[in-house]
């Protein structure tokens, strides 16, 4: 498809009931409807892959990869720029579909497409960076290190921000010379997979280099086990990440895990209450709280906790809930009934354990009301668990030391934030927080694509994706030495 073609970009992906290997091919699994969370209506019918489909895809990707790695960097970079141009031209179509499939507001769909365009341009830019280093060595010997692709990279992506969280691995992995096998969440197979396939198909990516196969857990396990795959990039829950690491580790694959978080926002007693409440509301309720960086604990100094909670409750009661993709509300639905029930159980269990339900705690279909829990303490489910729903959890503290202790009382270590006009004090607190992403005078949800993104502890396995981290994730070093003649060794 050319950039100027008027046929909707997603038409083929939405109508063919196929998998993608460079061509659109029938899968050997079942065909299931993809349901729009806000309406309960089917958006399309999606072919589900089987483990046999996955094995064939991985083998095809391995065969296609060497020629791609041998292609000149300018030729590779041009494909990413073309894909970005295609996305820009189809911006409105793509943004609305992403919003509908994920149950998000239209601005959230627009954000995903904008960031996808940035990720594609950044992937093109990777190819103009140095691909190695000349190292110090003895006279008469050239010593250098160069970056080599892993070969085939498997990408497993989630439902919440599927376009960004797929493409942030797919694009740099391809740029580094790898082939990619992508398994998007079957709840969002287009936003997390087939949309990306259409962009690269339109841009002229050689066939076989990108394989897109939605499927269930056995299909993901087949990807993790396949001998052609040398790296797995997984974004999702911590429990699932542990399983991915265990399976992939058996064949010594590199594994990059971007997992959950219970992200603290510390609000000191000198903070402006209106600004603090605004930040807390955005961090806790954006996209119904279905974000790994969502503000999971709002730690407020005890002297302002009551006044702050009143302001947060007022914001919750002012928010509308409905079909946000069509502009009918500020917040949309949760992704499915199972997740809604989990959110509701955490709220109810915490109230029974002594937390106060200030507002919310109710739902209609998949639409959960923005909720505020106060008086939450360690030991309650709302304190410990990542909720992944629109629930603001307010915890009071008496001193900076207690705030730090409460913030670090978690197995997670993704994002954290501190709000105070005393920037030095806030930074001193922030330096003691166990997190991969730290924000002073902001909330916890932030990512600019150019930054290394990664968590600690149960939020990840120490790696990062994005910006300067991409070369390190999606390639490996090879050391090379060159001499004019072999040396004469003593034996």
Q: Which tens digit of pLDDT belongs to each residue from 85-111?
A: 999 999 999 999 999 999 999 999 999
CA 164 from centre of chain: 6
Average pLDDT over residues 42-50: 97
d(CA 96, CA 487): 66
pTM listed for this prediction: 0.96
User: Phi and psi at residue 149, in whole multiples of 5°?
Assistant: -65, 155
d(CA 289, CA 199): 29
- Is residue 279 pLDDT above 60, yes or no? yes
Task: Show the CA angle centred on residue 459, arms to residues 457 and 462, nearest 5°.
Answer: 60
- Is residue 457 pLDDT above 70, yes or no? yes
- Is residue 256 pLDDT above 60, yes or no? yes
Tokens read off for 337: 């009934």
- Is residue 193 pLDDT above 80, yes or no? yes
Write down the pLDDT at residue 291. 98
Residue pair 155/181 in contact by the 8 Å Cβ criterion: yes
d(CA 372, CA 358): 5
Write down the pLDDT at residue 463. 82
Helix, strand, coil percent values for the chain (each to nearest 5): 40, 20, 35
Average pLDDT, the chain: 96
Confidence of residue 7 (pLDDT cuts 50, 70, 90): low
The pLDDT tens digits for 315-362 are 999 999 999 999 999 999 999 999 999 999 999 999 999 999 999 999
Average pLDDT over residues 380-405: 98
CA distances for 302 relative to 120, 298, 308, 369, 444, angstroms: 46, 12, 10, 26, 21
CA distances for 398 relative to 133, 269, 313, 328, 394, angstroms: 51, 10, 22, 41, 14
Average pLDDT over residues 234-257: 96
CA 393 from centre of chain: 23
Q: Which residues are catalytic?
A: 258, 292
What is the dihedral sign for C-alpha 269, 275, 281, 287? negative
The pLDDT tens digits for 127-177 are 999 999 999 999 999 999 999 999 999 999 999 999 999 999 999 999 999
């Amino acid at each position: 498809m050319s950039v100027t073609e008027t046929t909707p970009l997603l038409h083929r992906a939405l109508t063919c009931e196929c998998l993608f290997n460079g061509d659109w091919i029938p899968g050997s699994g079942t065909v299931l409807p993809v349901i729009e969370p806000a309406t309960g209506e089917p958006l399309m019918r999606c072919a589900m892959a089987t483990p046999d489909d996955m094995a064939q895809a991985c083998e095809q990707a391995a065969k296609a990869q060497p020629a791609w790695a041998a292609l000149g960097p300018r030729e590779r970079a041009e494909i990413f720029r073309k894909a970005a141009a295609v996305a820009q031209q189809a911006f409105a179509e793509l943004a609305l579909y992403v919003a509908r499939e994920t149950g998000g507001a239209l601005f959230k769909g627009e954000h995903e497409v904008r960031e996808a365009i940035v990720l594609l341009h950044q992937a093109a830019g990777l190819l103009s960076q140095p691909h190695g280093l000349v190292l110090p060595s003895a006279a008469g010997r050239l010593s250098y290190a160069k970056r080599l692709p892993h070969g085939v990279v498997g990408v497993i992506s989630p439902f919440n921000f599927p376009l960004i969280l797929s493409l942030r691995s797919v694009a740099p992995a391809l740029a580094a010379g790898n082939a990619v096998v992508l398994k998007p969440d079957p709840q969002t197979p287009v936003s997390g997979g087939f949309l990306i396939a259409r962009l690269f198909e339109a841009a002229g990516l050689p066939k076989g280099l990108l394989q897109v196969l939605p499927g269930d857990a056995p299909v993901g396990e087949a990807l993790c086990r396949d001998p052609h795959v040398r790296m797995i990039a997984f974004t999702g829950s911590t429990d699932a990440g542990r399983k991915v690491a265990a399976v992939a580790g058996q064949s010594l694959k590199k594994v990059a895990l971007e997992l959950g978080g219970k992200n603290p926002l510390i609000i000191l007693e000198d903070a402006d209450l209106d600004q603090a409440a605004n930040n807390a509301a955005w961090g806790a309720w954006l996209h119904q709280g279905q974000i790994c960086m969502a503000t999971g604990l709002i730690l407020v100094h005890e002297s302002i906790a009551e006044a702050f909670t009143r302001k947060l409750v007022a914001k919750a009661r002012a928010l509308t809930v409905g079909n946000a993709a069509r502009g009918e509300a500020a917040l949309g639905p949760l992704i499915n009934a199972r997740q809604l029930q989990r959110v509701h159980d955490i709220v109810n269990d915490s109230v029974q354990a002594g937390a106060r339900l200030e507002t919310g705690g109710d739902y209609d279909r998949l639409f959960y009301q923005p909720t505020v829990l106060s008086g939450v303490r360690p030991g309650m489910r709302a304190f410990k668990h990542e909720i992944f729903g629109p629930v603001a959890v307010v915890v009071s503290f008496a001193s900076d030391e207690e705030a730090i202790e409460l913030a670090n009382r978690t197995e997670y270590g993704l994002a954290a934030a501190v709000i105070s006009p005393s920037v030095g004090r806030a930074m001193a607190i922030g330096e003691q927080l166990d997190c991969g992403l730290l924000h002073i005078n902001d909330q916890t949800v932030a990512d600019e694509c150019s930054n290394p993104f990664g968590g600690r502890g149960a939020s990840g396995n120490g790696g990062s994706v994005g910006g300067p981290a991409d070369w390190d994730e999606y390639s490996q070093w090879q050391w090379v030495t060159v001499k004019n003649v072999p040396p004469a060794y003593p034996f």
